[in-house]
Amino acid sequence: MSITENTWRNRGACNGLDPAVFFPDSEENAGEAKAICSECAVRLSCLEHALAVRERDGVWGGLTEKERRRIIRQRRRTA
């Protein structure tokens, strides 16, 4: 993990919260995590990290895995 990555992680609104909130059992149950992410100062860094390393599970940067896959597909089309 790079120093930069470490820095944004430490500043995340999820820091110290129950990680289980960010790994809901379905897309429909991702609301609580999304609400926390929406207030997070490092949301974009978090999202770009998840897109870059293809994080498979959980809510990152306010988006679920399905939503992140959609962004990856869109970016591929416009690249």
| Nearest distance, CB of residue 73 and ligand SF4, angstroms | 21
Spatial distance between the Cα atoms of 45 and 43, rounded to a whole number of angstroms: 6
| Nearest distance, CB of residue 78 and ligand SF4, angstroms | 24
CB closer to ligand SF4, 8 vs 77: 8
Where b means 16+ CB within 10 Å and e means fewer, 10-32 reads eebbbeeeeeebbebeeeeebee
The contact mask relative to ligand SF4 for 30-69 (x = CB under 6 A, - = no) is: ------xx--x-xx--x-------------xxx-------
| The binder of ligand SF4 chosen from 13, 21, 51, 71 (CB under 6 A) | 13
Cα separation values, 7 from 11, 46, 63, 73, 74, Å: 7, 11, 20, 28, 28
Residues that bind ligand SF4 in the complex, under the rule CB under 6 A: 12-14, 22, 36-37, 40, 42-43, 46, 60-62
